[in-house]
Structure 1
């Protein structure tokens, strides 16, 4: 079968059907097998609150139009927005029936959490950034991912084709969903039925490190490496290193494939409040009060890559669809603004925005359809304007 435009594919309905989008983003762990990311036994860390009055703030969109916060919510099909400034919750909104205790899909924002785990283990000397992935996963030798280094994976530096098909980012994303979610498989589907099987079909079409190509397989390969070197599931590893130590109020969850492997690149669900706790820990140099959760060097290196990297971490020929001015490091989007801001970003409007200089953390959950008739909401512009407003007025 030849590749058809995405809009004509049976399995593309998840991008364009509003009802399907919201059902999946708010109920992902109920639609198939999932595994708990334990919050630990400690009491939840309280989140002080103080209304900052940003409800009346006017946002200037990149096209010059003026938007109120409700306008932004409508454009982004917002399910939740939580804003923290200097560790205090200054705004918290839930829409479309979502409640504060409800987990919501983080989609590709979850890639950044895998980046944190990898960077931490590399900092500890457990993971070698310069080693080929096949060093850890021998069965991937000769594949695009196996012949790439860990560092290539962390920067989306593989140039891959699956099963001989021409690469198309949107279509390959949907094919990945078909791997992990049987209901999304088109009639007659005969492709891979597990993440590991999917990775073995990848072949290199250029040398690694020659191009930035945003592809889920990089994350899944790295997650498998982390499982091999620690002997722990992705859920257990995230719980042990981060989730059980940030004072989370709720367990988080990963969706699983047919082999019981976590969908590390985007199958993670958590509450907005707990993701805000994660973001605040990162903003504070990996620490919560006097307790160091992650090495300070790991969090500091997100917007300021260590020696050997340019600040704008990009392989040549970044795709024309990439956000202007953005760069990429360890699965985080770097905004290259004056405030050292960076962001975990996922489809349909999932964002964790962290700005050390603005002392601001923002969590946004959404269910926006992906369609030419539904332009992307100006979330980054809104976040920066919220942050600069708070820094001026508080």
Structure 2
């Protein structure tokens, strides 16, 4: 009584924060029949299995990769070309291959040289200063912009499959060329990281400043708490676009410095900044803690959602929130937001007794 998956076997190569979140989404939304985690870090694999992010763990590439019809490259951006080179000889030529790196040009070039077919470069605009699969969650990707950057060699059917994958994970796909992506993220992602470093360095060099660094300063410099090596690699891989963004940023700072002697100009700049900041979209993630969620597969037949809610209501399990995740030809899945871990356990036992397949955390 579960929907046919989009993919039979998915491989997540790199089970960190983003890779683990993709794995949770694939399993939790019944998008893959089996999810295999590939990582050289045995601790990460054990944690991913314990958390239910993956069904199987692999530490070395081999012929087993030929059975995958989806491969997600989720290593740090500098490690992506070598990761792809390690896996490429074993990949099924029909498999959809994508990545989650924050810089697209070098990765797209590397995969093109390897001759990997059906590769669609991608970048989910989501993350956290807390890394590792232990902090991964399918909710991290929900409502996030997910940039897809096809090249001239990307087959259109592969791009269509990648869009479908992103949509079913709850994210919003946006398509643009790799170089356009890299220039845009240089300004909205990589430049703020360098600015955060500069501000935190000023505090580090004057201990008096740390006494006054309150919430506003912490919010402004949050990205400096990310993994130092990964962040370093991210900005270095995009250094040319980042240099151009730094030139524009210096000009803006110089203009604001000049406006210190022109209060009306500075006020106009402040109004412009407020309008721009207030107009930015608010990305809403899952409102309920993932540990209180239960995902239920429902067949494409009348009154299946009603059967689920009526059974839980009769058993005294209170549903606080309900969301239809996806409806496909063979059925779909719904997510139930429940009040407690105990309710999740009770609902799972009841629904599985009625023949429904469930997944939860």
Q: Could you state the TM-score of these two structures normalised by the residue count of structure 2?
A: 0.23
| Structure showing greater relative contact order (alpha-carbon pairs closer than 8 Å, 6 or more residues apart) | 1
Q: Could you state the TM-score of these two structures normalised by the residue count of structure 1?
A: 0.22
Quick check: which has more Rg, 1 or 2? Answer: 2
**Which structure's residues are more often helix, by fraction?**
2
